[in-house]
Amino acid sequence: MKRFSLLACLAFVIGVMSLGAAPPNKIALVNGTLINPGTGKAVANALVIIEGDHISAVGDQATAGSPKDAQVVDCKAKFILPGYIDTHVHFFQSGDIYTRPDAVDLTNIRPYKDEVAWIKRNLPDTFGRYIRCGITSVVDVGGPMWNFEVRRIANATEKAPRVAAAGPLISSVSRPQLDLGDPPIVKIDTPEQGREMVRKLAAQKPDYVKIWYIVPPAQRAERITPKPGETGSPAPVSGQSDAERAAIFRPIVRAVIEESHARKLRVAVHATELEAARASVEEGADLLVHSVNDKLADDAFVKLMKEKGTVLTPTLVVFERYGRTFANKLNFTPEEKAWGNPEVIASLDVTKIPSDKMPERLKSAMANPDAVLDRIRKTYEIALKNLKTLQDAGVIIAAGTDAGNIGTIHGPALFREFQLMKEAGLTPLQILQCATVNAARVFDTTGGTSFRSSASPKIGTIAPGNFADLVIVKSNPLEDIAHASDIDSVMKNGVLYPADSPVR
C-alpha cells in the first residue's frame, strides 16, 4: 500500500471540510460606510454587490437601491474595508517556543521533527485564524520546498487566506538545526550556486525568490584572515567597515537577482543592516522584508528606495518578540490572547520549562530582563524613525509581521504591527493603505508572472471585478487604528464569516 505524505492527507481533509454549501449567487452589502484606503475616501450609505467570488458593483445605496434577487446584509453603523494583507509570514514556523531550534534549542523537550509535524497538522487552524483576523491574503516569504504545497492547499481551500510563497532562503549563513531533508534555509557560497538555486526554484513558479542577507559581525584583530585553502565567500577581516562586510555576500546577491529577473521572478531580501539594504536595492531587490534597525537611513538611501520603486515591509512586531519571550516579558495584545492558537500561546510561558532543560540563553534573559528590554527599545528608536522617514518620502510601505517566528502569532500579530506603525507616526489611513492597496502590490496571484506591477492583483481595493475579500468592522478605523480589529464579519471569495464563527 502506498503511503501518503502528511501534506497530501491534509489536502484531502481540508478538501472535505471545504465541501459546504455554495455561497449565494448574489449578496448586497447595504447601509454601511465604505472605506477604500487606496483613494482615501469614505462613502456613507454604500452599496456593494457581490456575485459569486467577485465584486460586481459598488455604488450609493440611496440612489441605486438593493437588487431584489440578492441576499441583503445590513451594515448600518458599520464600516466596510478591503481584506487585510500580511506580506510577511512563515508557515513552516508555528510561533511557539520550539519553532526555531537555531535560536533556542529545546529539542530535548520537543524534537524538531515533532514540531514540524505539529505545524503541518494544524495548518487548517492557522488558515482559519487569519480569516478570523480579517486577513484574506498573505505572502509566505520563505520556507522548505513543501511551502509550495501549502500554497496549493490554501488556494484550493475555502476558509483560508490567499497565499503567495517563496521557497528556501538563499542564505549567507547555514542553519543545519532546521534541516530535516527539505531545508528552509540553504547556504550559498558562490554566485553560480546562487544561479543554480534560482533555476531549481523557478520550476515551482515561486512568487518570490528570497535572499537572507546576514552580514558577518566585525572581527577582532586575532581573526584577520580565513585559513589557507578555504573556499566559498571571503571571511570578514579586522577593521572592515559596514559596507566592506556587506560586500562579502554582494556578488551572490547580484547573481541571484540577475537570474531571477531574467526569469521574471521577483526578489525579496532580508537585510536589516543599512549597508546590506543599500546594496540590495542597488542590485535591484523588489522587496525589503524588514526595517533597517542598525542605523538611521541617510538621504542617499531614501532617494535610492524611492527611485528604484523598492517596497518595504517593516515587520516591527518581530523585533520585540524573541527577546520578550526569552525574558518572560511578553506583551500580547487582546487580539492575540483571543485569536492566537492557545497551544502556541501556552508554550511561550518560559517559566514552565524545567530548570534542568532550560538553555543558558533563556536563563540569562530571565535573570536580566531590563537589559533585554533596553536592547528592544534601542532597536525601535532606529526602526520606527526609519519607517516614518521612508513613509514621508513616498516609499511604498506594505504591512507584514514575520508571523511564525517565536512569539509572533499567526493572524493577530498584524494588530500589534498596526500599534507600532502608529507609534512610528503613521496615520490610521496610512496604516490601512499599508495593509491593503500597498500590500496588494506585493502579493502576486499569477504564480510569479507579474513583475514590478503597480496594478492590484484583484485584491486590496473594493472595486468591480476584484475578489470579494472584505472586512466589516463595528468602529471607524480612520478615527483610531485600534478599531481595525473590532471585526463584525469577514468575507473571503464571497463567503461571509461572522466574527463568532468557529476558526475551522
Q: What pLDDT, in 10s, does the model give residues 134-157?
A: 999 999 999 999 999 999 999 999
- The 10s digit of each residue's pLDDT in 335-349 is 999 999 999 999 999
Predicted confidence (pLDDT) at residue 481 exceeds the cutoff of 50: yes
Q: How far apart are CA 278 and CA 300, in angstroms?
A: 9
Can you give the pTM of this predicted structure? 0.92
DSSP label of 350: G
Q: Which of 188, 196, 192 is closest to 171 using CA atoms?
A: 188
Contact partners, residue 414, CB within 8 Å, separation at least 6: 84, 86, 133, 135, 399, 401, 403, 435
How confident is the model at residue 458, as a pLDDT? 92
Predicted confidence (pLDDT) at residue 229 exceeds the cutoff of 70: no
- The 10s digit of each residue's pLDDT in 79-118 is 999 999 999 999 999 999 999 999 999 999 999 999 999 9
- Please say whether the beta carbons of 300 and 282 come within 8 A: no
Q: How far apart are CA 452 and CA 442, in angstroms?
A: 9
Q: Are strands 162-165 and 135-140 parallel, antiparallel or unpaired?
A: parallel
Rounded to 5 degrees, φ, ψ at 102 are -75, -20
Length of the chain counted residue by residue: 504
Top CATH class, 84-442: alpha beta
How confident is the model at residue 410, as a pLDDT? 98
- 162: its cell numbers: 490567499
- The pLDDT mean for the chain works out to 91
What mean pLDDT is predicted for residues 419-424? Answer: 98
- Please say whether the beta carbons of 145 and 170 come within 8 A: no
How confident is the model at residue 220, as a pLDDT? 58
- The 10s digit of each residue's pLDDT in 163-221 is 999 999 999 999 999 999 999 999 999 999 999 999 999 999 999 999 999 998 887 54
Same fold, 22-82+462-498 and 84-442: no
How confident is the model at residue 7, as a pLDDT? 62
- Please say whether the beta carbons of 159 and 131 come within 8 A: yes
Which one-letter amino acid corresponds to residue 159?
A: K
Domain layout of the chain by residue ranges = 22-82+462-498, 84-442
Predicted confidence (pLDDT) at residue 16 exceeds the cutoff of 70: no
* Whole-number percent of the chain with pLDDT over 70: 89
Name the superfamily (CATH) of residues 22-82+462-498: Urease, subunit C, domain 1 (2.30.40.10)
